[in-house]
Homo-oligomer: A and B are copies of this chain.
Amino acid sequence: VPEVVLGEGKTADQIVAIVRELVAAGDDVLVTRLDDAAARAVLAEIPGLQHHPIARVATFEARPIVAEAIEPVAIVTAGTSDVPVAEEAFQTLRMIGIPATRVFDVGVAGIHRVFGELDVLTKAPAVMVVAGLEGALPSVVGGLVAVPVIAVPTSVGYGASFGGIAPLLTMLNSCAAGVSVVNIDNGFGAGYLAAVINRLALSERPD
């Protein structure tokens, strides 16, 4: 598991100091919620750091991380505006060595798009569903698969979405069993949880 540095609320100088120390110690590093200005400053100082601008993260691999040879986690988004949160989860999983598949832009207003991805969803050991607006997608997906569904509300929307309260409540009240919820926009937390669930499967495997 990489060392994780929350970029938000830290100056570029503070991030550089922390990351430099971790890199020197031979750790893998994941910096999250890193805005573009901070990213530029940090990348200029730390050789080998990689920037993933859509996910707003930077990563450092002490040695190349190879994904486990298992079925990938499915990362589902309702709309394109939910992608940054999904990508934060994707990078988190990648840094832990858990493979993931992107299933983007399959919101419930066009329910046939979800069905076109049923094969991917039912094979996955866990499904993460990232959605803003009304946040209905995890309930639909939860009714279609038999594995843990990690619901991630996003702050995408306006008016009565109240910065993500609407999809958060939707997901907490999901009528589908097997669904649990993380904080609004918490892509890292969802990715980490998906990894923990998969590690469990791996560790349970008798040699």
Contacts and interface: CB of A to CB of B under 8 A. Distances in A.
Contacts of A164: 159-160
A58 interface: no
A133 B175 contact: yes
Q: In the assembly, how many copies of this chain are there?
A: 8
A183 B4 CA distance: 28
A200 B196 CA distance: 12
A91 to B, nearest CB: 14
16 contacts: A9-B81, A9-B156, A10-B81, A108-B143, A111-B140, A111-B143, A133-B173, A134-B136, A146-B196, A146-B199, A148-B197, A157-B173, A160-B172, A166-B172, A178-B196, A197-B197
A98 to B, nearest CB: 13
A30 B203 CA distance: 31
A126 to B, nearest CB: 7
A206 interface: yes
Given A166-B170, A170-B166, A173-B133, A182 B183 contact: no
Contact of A174 (B4, B133, B204): B133
A160 B175 contact: no
A166 B162 contact: no
B175 A107 contact: yes
A108 B139 contact: yes
